[in-house]
Amino acid sequence: MIDQINAILPQTQCGQCGFKGCRPYAQAIASGAADINQCPPGGDEGIIELARLLGVSPKPLNTQFGHHKPKSVAFIVEQDCIGCAKCLAVCPVDAISGAAKFMHTIITSECTGCELCITPCPVDCIIMKPAPIYTNKSSTLKTAQAQLAKRRYDARCLRKENENVEKAERARKQKEALIKKQASSMQQQ
Ligand code: SF4
Ligand code: SF4
Ligand code: SF4
């Protein structure tokens, strides 16, 4: 059921629903912890599909979570970018390319328009522009974009999870080494 709900969600990964991405929101809907009308990017169309899947009545979007608006993509005004990499750290689908102290750029075809990179930018050089790919309203293109975003989000989550495991392992080894060092210095005394 979680997968079926997640397949309906737009994969913008913006967190406006109150969860850290579409899948956590899908899990919350499946468990009854969240309502079906909390996703502004999905809008009424998404709510109707969710209601159909779950066999409940559709309801209007809860605007406490935001308003539905046309799809957009981020764009970096490159001459103003100072290369701080703060945007890189927050992009949920790794759609930003760049390295510390170098100019960054957005990979437009991979940007979901989540806007999460706007606030961390210290020089306000990230702006939103209408997404060119959605102007023809093709549902096939929409689905392909959502699937790509889902794959990139899943890959990023896995990478973060692995990084956290490695970090915890490093900390554990450091602690172990410290305890051994303290024990050996106590023995010598
Ligand atoms: S698109 Fe944004 S608001 Fe909608 S489910 Fe995904 S993370 Fe939540
Ligand atoms: S580039 Fe910015 S707007 Fe686009 S997906 Fe990444 S964080 Fe979201
Ligand atoms: S946050 Fe802004 S200044 Fe920093 S790397 Fe990204 S675009 Fe450039």
Mutational test site, ligand 3, from 79, 86, 94, max ligand atoms within 8 Å of CB? 86
Return the pLDDT at 135: 47
Out of 3.20.20.80, 3.30.70.2740, 3.30.70.20, 3.40.50.970, the CATH code matching 70-189 is 3.30.70.20
- Ligand 3 touching residue 76 (CB < 6 A): yes
Of 69, 95, 106, nearest in space to 148 by CA: 95
Structure tokens at 146: 């959502």
Is the Cβ–Cβ distance between 106 and 79 less than 8 Å? no
- Ligand 3 touching residue 104 (CB < 6 A): yes
Residue owning the nearest CA to atom 6 of ligand 2: 91
Return the pLDDT at 183: 87
CA of 94 to the centre of ligand 2 (A): 8
- Identify the bridge partners of residue 24 per DSSP, sorted by sequence position: none
Any idea which ligand is nearest the CA of 125? 3
Separation in Å, CA 56 to CA 20, 36, 101, 180: 25, 9, 51, 61
Residue owning the nearest CA to atom 5 of ligand 2: 111
Hey, where are the domains in the chain?
2-65, 70-189
Encoded amino acid at 110, one letter:
E
Out of 1.20.120.1770, 1.10.10.10, 3.30.70.1020, 1.10.15.40, the CATH code matching 2-65 is 1.10.15.40
Q: How many whole angstroms separate alpha carbon 48 and alpha carbon 99?
A: 42
Using CA atoms of 61, 62, 67, 69 in order, give the dihedral in degrees to the nearest 10.
-20
Full pLDDT tens readout for the chain, 189 residues: 999 999 999 999 999 999 999 999 999 999 999 999 999 999 999 999 999 999 999 999 999 999 999 999 999 999 999 999 999 999 999 999 988 888 899 999 999 999 999 999 999 999 999 987 554 456 666 788 899 999 999 999 999 999 999 999 999 999 999 999 888 888 877
Of 96, 78, 79, nearest in space to 87 by CA: 96
Residues in CB range of 57: below 8 A, 6 or more apart: 51
